A and B are shown apart, each in its own frame.
Chain A
Amino acid sequence: MRSAISLLLLCLALVIPVSATTVAPLSFEQLVNESSTVVYGRVLDVRSQWTEDRRFIESVVSIEILKGMKGGARDTIAFTVPGGQVGRYLNVIPGAPVFEPGDTAVFFLTARGPRLPVTTGFTQGVYRVQRDAGSGEMLVMPPIVDTGRIIRGDARRKPSSLGAFEASVRAVTAR
């Protein structure tokens, strides 16, 4: 059994890399630095609309800011994500982030000129926050900061408190 498992791990390590939708992922430092706003918030409202050129449907996500971590946003902020539903037209982009009222997350947002911000790095700028069933505490997966192979299920990478997550964000902004 052990040799078979080793073979599995070897196989996973050696298979030839393949294609993708998303370009090279951001490190946590890049994610923080490229974001003009980082907030912990709760989704208040999601409204879909055609873009100005009527080529696409986008959704405007409004959130209540529960904790600011970077940038000067207060109270509420809105951003857009691609896709949504307008009337009978439902536009879906596989792999795009999706929200509904009540969702809680740490949002990393990038402002682009006069338009509403977008999530930094597509799905990379969304860290979902969930309530721990046992303690009731709001927890979030910590950022990956160690160099080297990222191992799924690494016991050192447990969901952590929002306070610890915020400290990680502020540590980057302080550099």
Chain B
Amino acid sequence: MTRVLAITAAFLLTAGSSSSLAYLKLGAMVRGEVIDATWHQQPIGYFISDRDGNGVTANDLLGAVQRASATWSAVRSANVRFAFQSMTTALPAGGDARNTIGFLDRPDLDRVLGATSFLVDATTGSIFEADIFFNSRFAFSVAPNGEPERIDLESVALHELGHLLGLGHSAIGETERISSGGRRVIGTGAVMFPIALSAGATADRVLQADDIAGVSDLYPTAPADLDTGGIVGRVTKNGQGVRGAHVIAFNPETGVVIGNFALNEQGDFVIARLPPGTYILRAEPIDDAEPDSFFPTPIDTNFQVTYASRMVVAPRGGSSVPIEIRVQPK
């Protein structure tokens, strides 16, 4: 399937072409070149399917999507605009060249709240359409303060719209295994974290620094280059690059936490669009989750958490001095 990617024309989670290796982005590999899967024409138009969901109406969905799209559009350092077109009888499925958002009954995806589906021209990398479905298997809510036992629709819409904009998953977050079975999220710092929260939670309607950095990297406003900085470096183990290593930049003065991955065989990473400042860097393996949520190819998770030997400055309008983080096998 997507490692059709590696062939002539492909769509993958990858580094963007314009800013090197920043963020997990969706991109198209066309004739050997990676092209960001971004929307070149804005506003991004969308239709809302008129089918009601479980506990919510199609109009409720429209309201939730409008609020979520407004949240992305409100990011000052990014140029993102959406435009509601109309309600439609069409389902959120491919083939009509329209971006359609709606409910679908997907028993085959019984652990998935919602998903974004891109239909791409494999010869040019251009996007035919992108549809978002919310799984009617789940009870949703649009109550301002949430409802027990129901998933907050606006929160999931915010996450899926992030995908529609071209963002992949973020790994800023952690989970715990609970005695009654399963795992639950106990902390995240990104809307784009791939694991669901408990029903009833609404706090996830707010973008975090990691999300803002990602969307700003994809859709920068003109002055953004001057207002932010980047950190570049490499994660190595026994002299070899560690592909898939997750690197977190933490500013102890501001509390900002932004992460990214080493995305190539050399272990190179870039954390772009950081608020200028001094950061602690930590490299960690994604060994607590399903790596397939992040990467379509196997990654190295056999190494210990390692902090960079020094703090790193993300200078305003530029990038840090490259730093190497040397990790050890477990």
A residues with a Cβ closer than 8 A to B are 1, 4-5, 7-8, 11-27, 29-30, 46, 48, 53-57, 59, 61, 80-85, 87-100, 103, 112, 115, 118, 121-124, 126, 128, 130, 141, 144-155, 157-159
Which of the residues A12, A30, A97, A152 comes within 8 Å of B286, measured between beta carbons?
A: A152
Report B250-275 CB contacts with A as 1/0, cut-off 8 Å: 10100101000000000000000000
Contact B2 A95 (CB under 8 A): no
- A128–B296 Cα distance when bound, in Å, is 11
Q: Which chain B positions have C-beta within 8 A of A53?
A: 93
- A145–B174 Cα distance when bound, in Å, is 16
Contact B298 A130 (CB under 8 A): yes
**Cβ-closest 10 pairs across A and B:** A18-B204, A55-B93, A153-B305, A98-B296, A20-B196, A19-B155, A100-B3, A123-B290, A123-B292, A19-B159
Contact A144 B119 (CB under 8 A): no
A18, A48, A112, A146, most chain B CB atoms within 10 A: A18
Contact A25 B175 (CB under 8 A): yes
Looking across the interface, which residue of chain A has its beta carbon closest to that of B246? A152
Q: Which chain A positions have C-beta within 8 A of B330?
A: 153, 155, 157-158
Looking across the interface, which residue of chain A has its beta carbon closest to that of B156? A19
Contact B298 A152 (CB under 8 A): no
- A49–B42 Cα distance when bound, in Å, is 32
Contact A8 B257 (CB under 8 A): yes
Contact A18 B190 (CB under 8 A): yes
- Interface positions of B from 194 to 212, Cβ below 8 Å from A: 194-198, 201, 203-206, 208
Chain A nearest Cβ from B17, distance in angstroms:
17
Which of the residues B156, B190, B196, B291 comes within 8 Å of A128, measured between beta carbons?
A: B291
Q: Which chain B positions have C-beta within 8 A of A54?
A: 95
Contact A20 B252 (CB under 8 A): no
Contact B252 A85 (CB under 8 A): no
- A11–B279 Cα distance when bound, in Å, is 14
| Interface pick from B53-61, B107-115, B214-222 | B107-115
Instruction: Show 5 A/B contacts (Cβ-Cβ < 8 Å), sorted by A.
Output: A17-B198, A19-B191, A21-B169, A85-B4, A153-B287
Contact B292 A98 (CB under 8 A): yes
Contact A95 B287 (CB under 8 A): no
Contact A84 B1 (CB under 8 A): yes
Which of the residues A22, A99, A128 comes within 8 Å of B3, measured between beta carbons?
A: A99
Report B149-181 CB contacts with A as 1/0, cut-off 8 Å: 001100110111001000011001111111101
Q: Does B73 contact A (CB under 8 A)?
A: no
Q: Which chain B positions have C-beta within 8 A of A25?
A: 111, 175, 182-184, 195
